A and B are shown apart, each in its own frame.
Chain A
Amino acid sequence: MKHMAAHEPRLMRLLISLIAISAILLLILLPVIAVFVEAFSRGADVYVESLAEPDAQAAIWLTVLVALIAVPFNLVFGVAASWAIAKFEFAGKRLLLTLIDLPFSVSPVISGLAFVLVFGAHGLMGDWLVRHGIEIIFAVPGLVITTVFVTFPFVARELIPLMQEQGREEEEAAILLGASAWQMFRHVTLPNIRLGLLYGVLLCNARAMGEFGAVSVVSGHIRGETTTIPLYVEMLYNEYNFAAAFAVASVLTLLALVTLAAKQWVERKRHV
């Protein structure tokens, strides 16, 4: 019995590790490799061509544009909201917390639909928007608004617990030493949260560039105009243009890998 007891856990450990490793290989690593294999399946020339295609270029730049607006917006909003929530007491604090979490709890498709209902031609503000010649749904502004909404919680959720843990004392010390509000933020608040902030921004960016569901509803799928990378990939795939679809997809996959590496680096720094 003793003999068994000493050996069984080791065997179990090995078995469990094996299951975990094969699951990771099968479910995570293999698909990533498959994307690149498929992307280059018809040679490097086709790969480069697929990416050089004007529609592909438009999709890539549109994705970058959307991220360039959505990420800074949520960076500023996220820092402001978490600062207010973590360090002050005010009426409606719980409500704000719930609102920040809303995009996480609502299915992206539903949030896309909600924006159509508000800004669409037959929506709540439709008449007014049409009269003033403002296009939101089936246009770039719609993509930006939807992406902002979907990526809303990333920065704030990352920072709130961090700031709560740090408390107000260091900031109060800075103010009492004569620092202005900006000096306090720049020299005390920001350095204390910088790794958490970077982490939040990375996740926010990955989601902003990769979002499909919500964006799909408001985009209208106008090739070369309102298609971001994920939408364009779907389009190509539906047209049985697999090599091109995977070539464009590989760009997004690369971004994911870079994000992962950066995340790893941030985490290592954080735990030093």
Chain B
Amino acid sequence: MSIAIQNVSKRFREFQALKDVSLIIKDGELVALLGPSGSGKTTLLRIIAGLEQPDSGKVTTETRIKRQANSVGFVFQHYALFKHMSVFENVAFGLRVRKKAQRLSEEQIHEKVMKLLGLVHLESYHARFPSQLSGGQRQRVALARALAVEPQILLLDEPFGALDAKVRKELRRWMRRLHEELHITTIFVTHDQEEAMEMSDRVVVMSQGKIEQLGTPEEVYLQPANGFVYDFLGHYNEFAAWQLPDGTLLLQEGAQQAKPAPLFTESSTKWIRHIPFVSRLFAPERPTPQSYAKDTHTSPTAGVPVKVFCRPHEMYFYITQEPGTVKATIVHMNPAGPLVKIELERDNGALLDAELAKTVVDKLQLMKHQAVYVMPRNMKVFA
């Protein structure tokens, strides 16, 4: 089922939760509503579900096939399982409350519920009560219960928010597979950018009741529409630079000479590398950065002063001063894992974050209190 959200606004007393939001969700899509708390993402989800009425605007849905069953499956953040019912009865609820004429027979209900419990790997837990289950198990019961009514849209509110990291990862993977199997139009709310990136076909980045950007995970990460999106999707460092008339950027503090292709690039990646679409971007030949002026004689004063931003994994390290680098001192190193998180302090007191492959750190023999030269690459400028 496709969903069209047109000019939806919603206000709770003094708080404007949604401001004129429009969005079209295609049939079979898996969409993440991503944003900080108070950005209106949950309100939007609840309006799509029909749990809230918009003050203005409308939500229309278009169905391929007419079905008698309920069209919305909703999974609540805290699951909202019926505490006094067994797992079986929870899942069967949507089937039992149907009108007599449409109700399945007791055997059919039993068969269907057990099949759903099989899908979520909980067959042997059918007689348990919600209080006897772990968080991850409850989550799966809530999902089975929502799927029992054969919904055409599946809506999930912070589905993995209350679970620990390991279970979350498993459920995410499983959820993604389930979507590939069932192909139900799915919308989920999250404040975790990693979760949104990893699971969805498209990400809707929201803040303060508005949609900041709408696009594939690849688009929003690599071409953030504005500073908010860039900020929300990861850590960053800030530099002062000159923007020249032809669009090239020069660091104000750095030596002004261009020096493409720094020594260690290939391994300075981060978690994002593990995501399928991103790994493509790390193919052997990387695009050369256009961040530096080709003409070394350009006067910096011909440019406009701007703030530029750079991700921690796009910081390249040099032991000796090179053109386009900034001097900084290593103040902290966290070597847990294949990526070393490094905190640097510049001479002007500003702090910088960097992420470097362990192998690179070893090769350069980087140590705490050591002075190094860093070159930010793939810099972004926002109006």
Contacts and interface: CB of A to CB of B under 8 A. Distances in A.
B52 to A, nearest CB: 10
Interface in B38-93: 49-51, 69-70, 72-74, 76, 78, 80-84, 93
Contacts of B98: 178
A169 B78 contact: yes
Given A178-B94, A180-B97, A187-B97, A173 B84 contact: no
Contact of B97 (A169, A177, A192): A177
Contacts of A179: 93, 97
Contacts of B80: 169-170, 172-173
Contacts of A133: none
Contacts of A180: 97
B103 to A, nearest CB: 11
A15 B50 CA distance: 63
Interface residue range, chain B: 20 to 34
Contacts of A187: 82, 93, 97
Contacts, number: 53
A170 to B, nearest CB: 5
A169 B74 CA distance: 11
B76 A169 contact: yes
A264 interface: no
Contact of B74 (A173, A188, A191, A192): A173
Given A188-B82, A191-B84, A192-B83, A176 B97 contact: no
Interface string A156-192: 0000000000000110111011111001000110011
B328 interface: no
Given A176-B51, A176-B74, A183 B83 contact: no
A179 B85 CA distance: 15
A176 B78 contact: no
A192 B93 CA distance: 16
B93 A174 contact: yes
A186 to B, nearest CB: 10
B49 A176 contact: yes
A183 B95 CA distance: 12
Nearest to A179: B97
B149 interface: yes
Nearest to B93: A177
B145 interface: yes
Contact of B145 (A169, A172, A177, A192): A177
A145 B52 CA distance: 39
Given A174-B93, A177-B94, A178-B69, 16 more contacts: A169-B76, A169-B78, A172-B76, A172-B80, A174-B97, A176-B49, A176-B51, A176-B74, A177-B145, A177-B148, A178-B70, A178-B97, A178-B149, A179-B93, A187-B82, A187-B97
